[in-house]
C-alpha cells in the first residue's frame, strides 16, 4: 500500500493521477466499510471532483500544495463546511456547519482530497467507537474487536486502506488509543500547536486536533500543513522555534537523545502480552545503541485529575442539549454529562491548580529527558461490544471514566506532544509504544517515533502488517 508521501510525490511528478488515487480509496471503502463501518458519510462526488481539479491544475503547470491529491478522512466531530457533523449523537443528526475547522481548511488549501467523515462515540466520550446513530466501528485487524476511540473511524480508515491520512482529535487519548489498537501511527500535538476551532465546545482545555497515518513520515507530512496559530483560535500559538517535521522523520534516529522509559508510570497495570512487547522493543532500541533510563515523574491519580477537568467541561458543552432533548442522547453519554453537573466553579479552579502542579512536575522531568517511552495502552484490542476491558494485568478494571486509558492522560493534562507507533510483529494483535516529549518538541517526538518504527518493526514489517490488515478485514 502506498504511503501518503509516496502518493503526493507520484501525483506531483505526473506518474499517478489524483483521480486514480481517490478511486482506489473509494473502491476500498466499497469493499471493506460494510464490515468495518469507519465512515459516517462518503463524499464520493465531491472527492472525485476535487481530484479531477488537482489533475487539471497539475497538467496546466500550476504549483499545488504538499498534499495535492492525497485522499484523507475527517473525524465526524471535526467541522467540514456543508457535511454532517453529528458528534455521534442523534440530537445533532441534522447539523451541518456552515464553516470548516481551521485544520480542515488547511488540508483543503494543501489540495488534499477529502473522502468523507469518520465515526466517533457520542460526543467523543469513550475510548471505543460506537453510538446509536451510526453503530459500532470494528477493527480491520480483527472484526470481532474494537478500534478504540474516540477517533476509531479515523484509525480504521487508515488500517484498512480506505484513506491515506486521517484527521482526528484527542482529549484523553482519542488519537493514540485507536492508533495503538489498529496498528497505525498517530500524533497528539502540543496543546495550541494546531487550531481546534471552529467546532464543538467539547473539552476545550484538553482536546487537540492531529493526524493518524500508516507511518510516521506521513504524520510529519500532515503536520507541516496543520501546525501554526490562527486568529480563529485564540488558544493557538506559534512554537518558540521552527519545527522541522520532515527533517525529523527523515533523521529517524535516537542518537543523542536523552530517553526515559516506564512500563507503568508507577501506577498502571499491564497485560503480559503488552509488557512483553514493550520490553522487547526497549531491548531492540538498546541493542541499536540507545541509552534508556527506567524513570518516570512522580505518580499521581491522573484519572481523578482528568475527571475534575473533563467532566465539568463536558457538562458545560452538552448539558443544555441533554436538558432540551434527553430522548435523543444515549444513556451512557447522558450519565457522563450528568457526572459533571455538580462540580462548582471553585472545585474546577482547585482542580486547575492541582493540574498546574502536575504539569510542573512533568515539565521538570522532561527538562532532564527528551522523550519518555511507555506502552500506549495496557491491553490489546478487546471485544467490539464492550466499553472497556474487564481486566488489566489480571485485575478488575476500577470503576470510572475509561480508567484503563490512564497512561495517556498526562499528555492531555500537561498539554504535551505524544505519538503512538506500532511495536508488535506482523500477525500479532497490535501493541503501541507511546512517545511523549516536552511542549513544542513535537518534531523531537516525531524523530524518536520514526526511529522506533524503523528499528522495532522496519519498513518491510510495517508494510506487511498494513497489507495483512486489509486482507484480514476482507476474510472476516
Catalytic residue among 17, 50, 73, 75: 75
* CA proximity to 177, closest of 418, 426, 439: 418
Binning pLDDT at 50, 70 and 90, where does residue 458 land?
A: low
pLDDT of residue 471: 32
464 classed as catalytic: no
Cβ atoms < 10 Å from Cβ of 230:
16
* DSSP letter, residue 319: H
pLDDT of residue 177: 98
Q: What is the pTM of this model?
A: 0.96
**Range of weakest confidence among 215-224, 256-265, 341-350, 450-459:** 450-459
* CA proximity to 28, closest of 55, 1, 4: 1
Q: Mean of the pLDDT values across residues 198-221?
A: 98
Binning pLDDT at 50, 70 and 90, where does residue 461 land?
A: very low
CA distance 94 to 41: 13
Q: In whole angstroms, how far apart are CA 112 and each of 21, 58, 219, 242, 351?
A: 11, 13, 14, 24, 40
The domain 4-475 is placed in CATH, from the list 3.10.330.10, 1.10.10.10, 3.30.750.24, 3.90.1300.10, at 3.90.1300.10
pLDDT at residue 66 tops 60: yes
- Residue entry with cell 467523515: 117
50 classed as catalytic: no
Binning pLDDT at 50, 70 and 90, where does residue 65 land?
A: very high
Grid coordinates belonging to 475? 476474510
CA distance 221 to 254: 20
Residue 154's contacts (CB-CB under 8 Å, 6 or more residues apart) are: 38, 73, 75, 118, 166, 167, 168, 175, 178, 212
Catalytic residue among 150, 151, 157, 473: 150
The burial class, CB within 10 Å (0-12 / 13-18 / 19+), for 269 is middle
Grid coordinates belonging to 173? 487519548
Q: In whole angstroms, how far apart are CA 129 and each of 38, 45, 115?
A: 9, 27, 20
* CA proximity to 150, closest of 336, 2, 277: 336
Catalytic residue among 160, 174, 207, 214: 174
pLDDT of residue 398: 75
150 classed as catalytic: yes
Count of alpha carbons within 13 angstroms of residue 24, beta-carbon side: 18
**Contact criterion met (CB below 8 Å) for 205 and 313:** yes
Amino acid at each position: 500500500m502506498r504511503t501518503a508521501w509516496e502518493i503526493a510525490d507520484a501525483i506531483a511528478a505526473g506518474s499517478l493521477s489524483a483521480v486514480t488515487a481517490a478511486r482506489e480509496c473509494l473502491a476500498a471503502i466499497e469493499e471493506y466499510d460494510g464490515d468495518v463501518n469507519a465512515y459516517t458519510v462518503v463524499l464520493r462526488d465531491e472527492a472525485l471532483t476535487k481530484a479531477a481539479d488537482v489533475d487539471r491544475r497539475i497538467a496546466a503547470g500550476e504549483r499545488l500544495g504538499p498534499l495535492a491529491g492525497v485522499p484523507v478522512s475527517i473525524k465526524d466531530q471535526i467541522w467540514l463546511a456543508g457535511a454532517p457533523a453529528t458528534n455521534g449523537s442523534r440530537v445533532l443528526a441534522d447539523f451541518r456547519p456552515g464553516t470548516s475547522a481551521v485544520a480542515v481548511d488547511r488540508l483543503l488549501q494543501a489540495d488534499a482530497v477529502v473522502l468523507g467523515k469518520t465515526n466517533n462515540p457520542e460526543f467523543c466520550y469513550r475510548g471505543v467507537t460506537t453510538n446509536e446513530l451510526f453503530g459500532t466501528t470494528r477493527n480491520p485487524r480483527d472484526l470481532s474487536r474494537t478500534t478504540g476511540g474516540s477517533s476509531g473511524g479515523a484509525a480504521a480508515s487508515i488500517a484498512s486502506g480506505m484513506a491515506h491520512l486521517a484527521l482526528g482529535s484527542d482529549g484523553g487519548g482519542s488519537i493514540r488509543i485507536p492508533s495503538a489498537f489498529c496498528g497505525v501511527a498517530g500524533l497528539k500535538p502540543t496543546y495550541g500547536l494546531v487550531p481546534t476551532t471552529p467546532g464543538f465546545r467539547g473539552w476545550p482545555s484538553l482536546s487537540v486536533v492531529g493526524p493518524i497515518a500508516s507511518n510516521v513520515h506521513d504524520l510529519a507530512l500532515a503536520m507541516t500543513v496543520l501546525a501554526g496559530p490562527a486568529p480563529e483560535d485564540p488558544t493557538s500559538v506559534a512554537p518558540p522555534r521552527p519545527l522541522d517535521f520532515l527533517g525529523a522523520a527523515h533523521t529517524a534516529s535516537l542518537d543523542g537523545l536523552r530517553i526515559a522509559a516506564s512500563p507503568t508510570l508507577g501506577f498502571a497495570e499491564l497485560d503480559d502480552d503488552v509488557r512483553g512487547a514493550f520490553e522487547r522493543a526497549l531491548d531492540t532500541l538498546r541493542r541499536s545503541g540507545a541509552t534508556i533510563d527506567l524513570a518516570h515523574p512522580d505518580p499521581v491519580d491522573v484519572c481523578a485529575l482528568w475527571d475534575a477537568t473533563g467532566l465539568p467541561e463536558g457538562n458545560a458543552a452538552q448539558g443544555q442539549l441533554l436538558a432540551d432533548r434527553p430522548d435523543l442522547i444515549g444513556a451512557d453519554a447522558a450519565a457522563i454529562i450528568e457526572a459533571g453537573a455538580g462540580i462548582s466553579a471553585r472545585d474546577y479552579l482547585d482542580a486547575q491548580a492541582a493540574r498546574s502542579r502536575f504539569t510542573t512536575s512533568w515539565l521538570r522531568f522532561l527538562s532532564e529527558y527528551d522523550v519518555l517511552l511507555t506502552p500506549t495502552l495496557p491491553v490489546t484490542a478487546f471485544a467490539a461490544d464492550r466499553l472497556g476491558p474487564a481486566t488489566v494485568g489480571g485485575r478488575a478494571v476500577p470503576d470510572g471514566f475509561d480508567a484503563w486509558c490512564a497512561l495517556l492522560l498526562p499528555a492531555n493534562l500537561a498539554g504535551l506532544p505524544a505519538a503512538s507507533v506500532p511495536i508488535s510483529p506482523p500477525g500479532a494483535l497490535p501493541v503501541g509504544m507511546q512517545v511523549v516529549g516536552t511542549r513544542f518538541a513535537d518534531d523531537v517526538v516525531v524523530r524518536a517515533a520514526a526511529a522506533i518504527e524503523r528499528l522495532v518493526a522496519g519498513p518491510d514489517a510495517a508494510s506487511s502488517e498494513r497489507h495483512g490488515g486489509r486482507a484480514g478485514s476482507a476474510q472476516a
